[in-house]
Amino acid sequence: MSQLFSPFTVRGLTMRNRTVIAPMCQYSAQHGLANDWHFVHLGRFALGGFGLVILEATGVTPEARISYGDLGLWNDEQIAPLKHIVGFLKAEGAATGIQLGHAGRKAATPIAWRHGFDETEADKRDYAYETWVPEAPSAERHSDNPNFQTPVALDKAGIQRVVQSFADAARRADQAGFDTVEIHGAHGYLISQFLSPLANHRGDEYGGSRENRMRFPLEVTEAVRAVWPEDKPLIVRLSVTDGSPGGWGIDDSIVLSRELQALGVDMIHCSSGGFDGYSLKAAPLYQVELSKAIRAAGVPTIAVGLIDDANDAERILAEGEADLVAFARTALEDPNWPVHARHTLEGGGDAYQLWPKQARSRIRDRDRALGIRQS
pLDDT along the chain (375 residues), means of 10: 97 98 98 98 98 98 98 98 98 98 98 94 95 98 95 98 98 98 98 98 98 98 98 98 97 98 98 95 96 98 98 98 98 98 91 93 91 78
Strands (E), 214-333: 234-239, 267-271, 301-303, 324-327
Is residue 99 classed as helix, strand or coil in its secondary structure?
strand
Give me the pLDDT at residue 349, please. 82
What's the CA gap between 375 and 132, in Å, rounded? 57
Is residue 371 a part of any domain in this protein? no
Is residue 369 a part of any domain in this protein? no
Give me the pLDDT at residue 375, please. 56
Give me the pLDDT at residue 373, please. 86
Is residue 96 classed as helix, strand or coil in its secondary structure?
strand
Domain span at residue 157 reads: 8-335
189 is catalytic: yes
Is residue 78 a part of any domain in this protein? yes
What's the CA gap between 220 and 228, in Å, rounded? 12
CATH number reported for the structural domain that contains residue 56 in this entry: 3.20.20.70
Is residue 124 a part of any domain in this protein? yes
Is residue 40 a part of any domain in this protein? yes
298: left (phi over 0), alpha (psi -120 to 50) or beta: left
Query: Which residues sit opposite 53 in a β-bridge?
Result: 21, 96
Catalytic residue among 27, 68, 189, 352: 189
Give me the pLDDT at residue 347, please. 87
If one counts the domains in the chain, the total is: 1
Distances (CA, A) of 228 to 23, 171, 211, 233: 20, 7, 25, 8
Is residue 173 a part of any domain in this protein? yes
Is residue 361 a part of any domain in this protein? no
Is residue 363 a part of any domain in this protein? no
